[in-house]
Structure 1
């Protein structure tokens, strides 16, 4: 594995008695876009949270640019340049849009966020909690863009967005000079091209890894032309 980027190595995560990740190994290179693909219950959101440090590993390691950061807490990873955009509660609801952007910009101009999502300009005085779901996603992604993070982890970035804004969002993510990891239920058209990487998870285990173009031509089981792995143990659906 290349040292640049972030990895899970033989990662296991438990929710009480329930194991949600079964020894998952994956690597997201930097710079570049990696997609964690899977249905609800597959473990994709759990993998994101494990990378961010908001969920502890019961076994295995998180390695960032060749250094083991497993024991670093989430806020310490954030200070080092990791930004997590969860699928909900990703903005400060009681603050205005302007205040959210100012916090993310840390004294720098927040005009790049308005360039990315012009719709936000008219919403600057509004409290973030009053925005629609798609508008909140725009604000959350804008905050991530302004943070100039080295690693950006995003859970379903285009949720609630129109197709045009979603396409713009994937274009923005592809253009970042960062390690970008996106969790999705289905592979978005905007991320179907090489050299984007895809890991498909099912019931807490990796069942496919390869370039996005390989995943597009693979069979419906996700074990086609890419580098495949046996699926995880059968049983009830795991947390996402």
Structure 2
């Protein structure tokens, strides 16, 4: 990609799950290279935005635009083939395969993943399904790193990780030559003061858009929490 600017965007996007509308005309743009953060509590629509961008849920209205091209009707596997990588919150690894096999599926050489997360080296012979939540997140993100994707979409990237590993994870994501979109319940402390685009969602609508620096730092404990959004 060589640092070429790009944008992945939603334009007046609507998504329905049966009779319920999860996104109510959401418009946002994720520039790359760089990080865009989708903030929101459970049920806010942040996970649905990721799925809409990836093509794993259809829009009932609006459009998905990638580098100026309307890809609304392009299926998820075609978006993946063109360099989009989605790391969901759950079932992001092949639990019945070993860590080594999971990494080998992403790339023939996985030294880059072990450099990123040295903790995985001792876990290579283990089945991925037996890993802790934080270890599975490291493995899932390692596979995304190996894919060298143009767009990386990650739901709850640091869930279950220690603060040190979480900070390392955001350093890795910030260093990618890709458009990176992450969904979080709160702005990660490591991003305060950094350049990052932020959209806050509430009940399927955007209630704030701006830079991370515009948000006040958290005053209390800030921890990751389970649960879809």
TM-score under structure 2 length normalisation: 0.92
Quote how far apart the aligned CAs of 1:193 are: 2.7
Counterpart selection for 2:32 from 27, 30, 33: 30
8 A Cα contact 1:198 1:215, kept in partner:
no
Could you tell me which residue of structure 1 aligns to residue 185 of structure 2? 185
User: Structure 1 residue 119 and structure 2 residue 119: aligned?
Assistant: yes
Quote how far apart the aligned CAs of 1:131 are: 0.6
Quote how far apart the aligned CAs of 1:216 are: 2.6
User: Structure 1 residue 72 and structure 2 residue 79: aligned?
Assistant: no
Which SS does the other structure have where 1:167 is aligned?
A: helix
Q: Distance in 2 between matches of 1:76 and 1:125?
A: 32
8 A Cα contact 1:38 1:200, kept in partner:
yes
Q: Distance in 2 between matches of 1:117 and 1:101?
A: 12
Which SS does the other structure have where 2:215 is aligned?
A: helix
Could you tell me which residue of structure 2 aligns to residue 143 of structure 1? 143
Quote how far apart the aligned CAs of 1:215 are: 2.1
Could you tell me which residue of structure 2 aligns to residue 134 of structure 1? 134
Could you tell me which residue of structure 2 aligns to residue 20 of structure 1? 22
The alignment yields a C-alpha RMSD, in angstroms, of 1.3
Quote how far apart the aligned CAs of 1:192 are: 2.0
Which SS does the other structure have where 1:93 is aligned?
A: coil
Listed as ranges, the gaps of 5+ residues in structure 1 are 219-238
Q: Distance in 2 between matches of 1:207 and 1:167?
A: 27
Listed as ranges, the gaps of 5+ residues in structure 2 are 219-227
8 A Cα contact 2:192 2:217, kept in partner:
no
Q: For residues 113-158 of structure 1, what are the alpha-carbon distances to aligned partners after superposition, in whole Å with 9 as ceiling and x for unaligned?
A: 0001001000001110111111000000000000000000000000
8 A Cα contact 1:97 1:139, kept in partner:
yes
**For this pair of structures, how many residues does the alignment match?**
216
Quote how far apart the aligned CAs of 1:191 are: 1.7
TM-score under structure 1 length normalisation: 0.88
Quote how far apart the aligned CAs of 1:217 are: 7.0
8 A Cα contact 2:37 2:182, kept in partner:
yes
